[in-house]
Amino acid sequence: MMNSVNFVMMCTGICLNYKTSYMWGTYGAVITNDIINAKVKQYPERYKADYVKQLRSFVGKGYFGFDCVGMIKGTLWGFRGDLNHKMGGAVYNSNGVPDYGCDTMFRGCKQISADWRNIVNGEAVWMSGHIGVYIGSGKVAECTAKWGHTCQITGCANMGNIPGMNMRSWEKHGRLPYVSY
């Protein structure tokens, strides 16, 4: 089980230290033509021509693909930014962390709350269909297609405005059962 300090550090590091792209159905995949082709076949409704063209422009340039819950799973499965490993070093379905979608992942959280005064670093923040990680100081690490299609640090609007940051309001937060707080 990963402790919350390391979990926050790893999620923040993905956002700040790696070239990333939002990529539905991935958890740290090195962006290659093979992974793009596999995801187009698996999720044709998610991978439209313009999006695929953008992803193909990242091939061979050291980019990693994540979706929102994939950033969390990839972190907990051991992502380490290894370009020589097709999933950046993450090992699928490892460390006792199942392959859940974002809503199922959140339903498994403990101490779920809509009171933003009691949130602690490393908790999942959630809204239907999307999940991120609270990293402290009113900020969230998330992978989103909303702003720039990347893993990024955004502001948690539930806790006030942070000038100059993309802001998002979340419905609830809770402690992931795979992280020690």
- pLDDT tens, residue by residue, 68-120: 999 999 999 999 999 999 999 999 999 999 999 999 999 999 999 999 999 99
Mean pLDDT of 57-77: 98
Strands 19-22, 63-66: parallel, antiparallel or unpaired by DSSP?
parallel
Adjacency order of strands within the sheet including 27-30: 19-22, 63-66, 27-30
Residue 161 and residue 89: Cα distance in Å, rounded?
36
For residue 88, is it left (φ>0), alpha (ψ between -120 and 50) or beta? left
Structure tokens at 125: 């923040």
The pTM assigned to this predicted structure is 0.96
pLDDT, tens only, 126-168? 999 999 999 999 999 999 999 989 999 999 999 999 999 999 9
CB 37 within 8 A of CB 61: no
Burial class (CB in 10 A: 0-12, 13-18, 19+), 68: buried
Phi, psi of 22 (to 5 degrees): -65, 130
Q: Which residues pair with 29 in a beta bridge?
A: 65
